[in-house]
Structure 1
Amino acid sequence: MAFRKVTDSILYVGVNDHEVDLFEGQYVVPNGMAYNSYVILDDKIAVMDTVDIHFAQEWLNNIAEALDGKKPTYLVVQHMEPDHSASIAEFLKVYPDAIVVGNAKTFVMMQQFFGADVAPNREVVANKGTLELGSHTLTFVFAPMVHWPEVMVTYDAADKVLFSADGFGKFGALDVEEDWDCEARRYYIGIVGKYGAQVQALLKVAATLDIQIICPLHGPVLTENLGHYIEKYDIWSSYKVESEGVMIAYASVYGNTKKAAEKLAETLKAKGCPKVVLRDLARSDMSENIEDAFRYGKLVLASITYNGDVFPFMHAFLHGLTERSYQNRTLGVIENGTWAPTAGRIIKSAFEKSKNITWLDTTVTIKSAMNAANDAQIEAMADELMKG
């Protein structure tokens, strides 16, 4: 069977992608991706979103099997990013009489992507606008910048389902079993993390609705323990600390800065730190590094001085944090330089516009290699990190 039931009247018709190596050209997805789409069966039939163009025919076959000879009245477009919208034209070749439903910004983007005539039959909806299918009434809630400006989510009051667009999505295809939290966190922080305020606004609207099922555009349909997923989104979008612990992120060339980072990690563990995450920025996945920096409440940045700046991998890490509105954290610095150690100053300057950053009193400054004074500084830094 190419489709499966979400409810008696809502069918899943999405596809799994195990061909993708980098999602959005940058995120490693070892377990692939799911591009989700749904069919709502009623007096008038609505298809919710399309899929990546490489899977258009598989998706259309899924729809045909789900419809069993019927014709869809509507294609609802919640998000115009091509992994969800690229098959609109292919859909309309098969179902030319279908009415495409979106907001004004949706259709501007649709013209930019596909040309003016891609959706001659269209219905432009307003925020909180509705679409009557029969026993199902769809209500559209605009969610600008979660994470594109045209995004909207859809609430079906009949089955108490929230079609959440990219919200509550995760990396990974649906034919692979894996923990939701980890890959949903990496997905959220990487793709939506900059827009916490907008997600918070959407969560406030969602709190007024009776939601029993969440149907995202990536990842599994969520039907149980919805409070857990909503709590995670509240933590992530309000930049709260999710887990107690310390992340130590280092960039080292000849191993001396690495030794300092390892020494700090060992000292913290000996003092009973609940969790210590040690990452070599040059040899680990950057999206996972950024994910962990947001997960834990304390972060130590250790870098050599390189061309009067920080090492390139540290530079990329700092940019990845600050462009995603990194805030509400305690930070420390380990810097190294043979003749002019300036890495610490560069690191601190990167967070000048960040909110609620608390710097440790102790900075570890290494001149080429570790010495007894540095050992004492690391001990003092560990003591600071263990407080509060």
Structure 2
Amino acid sequence: MRKHIKNNVSWVGKIDWELREFHGSDYSVDKGSSQNSYLIEEEKTVLIDTVWQPHSSEFLDNLKTEIDLEKIDYIVANHGEVDHAGALVEIMKEIPDTPIYCTANAKKSIIGQFHHPEWNYQVVKTGDSLDIGNGKKLIFVEMMMLHWPDSMATYLTEDNILFSNDAFGQHYAVSELFNDKADQCTLWEQAIKYYANILNPFSNFVTKKIDEIVELNLPIDIIATSHGAIWRDNPLQIVGKYAEWADAYQEDQITVVYDTMWNGTKSIAHEIGKEIELQAPDTKVKVLSIPHVDKNDIMTEVFKSKAIVLGSPTYLNGVLATVAKWLYFLKQLKFKNKKAAVFGTYGWSGEGNKVLRQSLEESGFEVIDKEIKVNYNPEKEDLSEAKELVSELLKSLEK
């Protein structure tokens, strides 16, 4: 079922209420999502993006109830990833000669994934345009590394709609489609989670691309994303947030992250949390257990934090596997301008803190000298070390 966006532009995508994970199992989805596809019907008819392959038959059946597929003059593939281009194979069976407008990298990506080099690819770059009649054009803007090398956005003149693909989106099912109809708390929670876990590694590209879009001086009335809510109420608010998030973002928050074996490390974690509350009462504190809190939600809190305190017991001359896995993901996300401290317990060897410190430094964190390292279960005097650790951490944040 199509939904009206503006004038001759309609949404023809898929609201995916059941979706619970994305990028394999690497990204958690707890509010559903959508794959947003758009139909423009001017003198020329244009389909912008499709949906994920598991929904391709449903998508095609629905599209056929709205339009004769033979009337589609052009397809725009803003991104070759399968959640956007997944229905191309089914559509091209029906209209095999239809031109597909995409970047050079997207052509490689689509051929590599779907193995159809014979399709009619029309390669475009930033500034190229396509006349679709009635005084309207599509202008293409390459969005390299937001978040694949093949990504681009497409701008519709006169209607002033930016089809932004993965930029500015969220994994959030909104049946009413628009940001002003969405629950605002959930909308912004999902938007910052999406940025922190998917786009933060490419923040340098985000800053440059925002500057480039501003320099194009295009009026933007609607930002039509590929996932989640479409921004029509003050659409540039999300652009402003991206500019803020891309600039080594942090709030007045410290997050304590840990895993434990026999609760010794856990008791230190909670003592540190209490001490932060005492010494910095205006600072938000989160104490999060790696195996009990979704890793994407933890990373969102790390993204918002000015510092983290990380703990693990020593295990097999290193740290717990849960912590090691989490540290690998932390390094991938390339957070900047954040401080850290480490703590842990050990039985006989005690390498855990060294591993934590080295891993954090490799991930771009500045780690303070003070640490807590306790042989077996902590006693009262061991827990009292949290006071000195927190004090040193807070002083480091003043520099």
Cα distance in 1 for residues equivalent to 2:197 and 2:335:
12
Question: Secondary structure of 2:96's match?
Answer: coil
Question: Secondary structure of 1:188's match?
Answer: helix
Alignment correspondent of 1:111: 111
Alignment correspondent of 2:90: 90
Equivalent residues in 2 for 1:262-277, closer than 5 Å: 262-271=270-279, 272-277=281-286
Q: What is the TM-score when the length of structure 2 is the normalising length?
A: 0.90
Alignment correspondent of 1:293: 302
Q: Is the 8 A contact 2:166 2:225 kept in 1?
A: yes
User: What letter is aligned with 2:164?
Assistant: S
Q: Is the 8 A contact 1:161 1:213 kept in 2?
A: yes
- How far residue 167 of structure 1 moved from its aligned partner, in angstroms, is 0.6
Could you tell me which of 197, 203, 212 is aligned with 2:204? 197
Equivalent residues in 2 for 1:38-187, closer than 5 Å: 38-67=38-67, 71-117=71-117, 119=119, 121-134=120-133, 135-175=135-175, 178=183, 179-187=186-194
Question: Secondary structure of 1:164's match?
Answer: strand
Change (3 A) 1:326 1:69: closer
User: What letter is aligned with 2:248?
Assistant: Y
Cα distance in 2 for residues equivalent to 1:361 and 1:109:
46
Cα distance in 2 for residues equivalent to 1:326 and 1:300:
15
Question: Secondary structure of 1:186's match?
Answer: helix
User: What letter is aligned with 2:21?
Assistant: L
User: What letter is aligned with 1:112?
Assistant: G
Q: Is the 8 A contact 1:9 1:42 kept in 2?
A: yes
Q: Name which of structure 1's ranges 166-175 and 75-84 shifts more when overlaid on structure 2.
A: 166-175
User: What letter is aligned with 2:219?
Assistant: D
1:204-263 superposed Cα distances (whole Å, 9 cap, x missing partner): 11223322211111011101233431232123323221x211100011010011001111
Could you tell me which of 348, 351, 366 is aligned with 1:342? 351
Question: Secondary structure of 1:207's match?
Answer: helix
Change (3 A) 1:187 1:292: same
Q: What is the TM-score when the length of structure 1 is the normalising length?
A: 0.93
- How far residue 50 of structure 1 moved from its aligned partner, in angstroms, is 0.8
Cα distance in 1 for residues equivalent to 2:238 and 2:191:
9
Q: Is the 8 A contact 2:17 2:31 kept in 1?
A: yes
Q: Is the 8 A contact 1:165 1:216 kept in 2?
A: yes
Gaps of 5+ in 1: none
Change (3 A) 1:180 1:171: same
Cα distance in 2 for residues equivalent to 1:130 and 1:290:
39
Q: Is the 8 A contact 2:140 2:154 kept in 1?
A: yes
Cα distance in 2 for residues equivalent to 1:200 and 1:10:
29
Equivalent residues in 2 for 1:217-228, closer than 5 Å: 217-228=226-237
User: What letter is aligned with 1:202?
Assistant: K
Alignment correspondent of 1:325: 334
Change (3 A) 1:259 1:287: same
Q: Name which of structure 1's ranges 73-82 and 332-341 shifts more when overlaid on structure 2.
A: 332-341
- How far residue 70 of structure 1 moved from its aligned partner, in angstroms, is 7.3
Change (3 A) 1:85 1:70: closer
Cα distance in 2 for residues equivalent to 1:336 and 1:118:
61
Change (3 A) 1:307 1:44: same
Q: Is the 8 A contact 1:290 1:317 kept in 2?
A: no
Alignment correspondent of 2:376: 368
Question: Secondary structure of 2:188's match?
Answer: helix
1:175-232 superposed Cα distances (whole Å, 9 cap, x missing partner): 3954112112222222222211112221111223322211111011101233431232
Question: Secondary structure of 1:379's match?
Answer: helix
Cα distance in 2 for residues equivalent to 1:342 and 1:365:
10
Cα distance in 1 for residues equivalent to 2:117 and 2:164:
28
Q: Is the 8 A contact 2:102 2:124 kept in 1?
A: yes
Q: Is the 8 A contact 1:214 1:223 kept in 2?
A: yes
- How far residue 101 of structure 1 moved from its aligned partner, in angstroms, is 1.1
Q: Is the 8 A contact 2:78 2:153 kept in 1?
A: yes
User: What letter is aligned with 2:51?
Assistant: V
User: What letter is aligned with 1:195?
Assistant: F
Cα distance in 2 for residues equivalent to 1:240 and 1:288:
16
Cα distance in 2 for residues equivalent to 1:129 and 1:99:
15
Q: Is the 8 A contact 1:11 1:66 kept in 2?
A: no
Change (3 A) 1:204 1:289: same
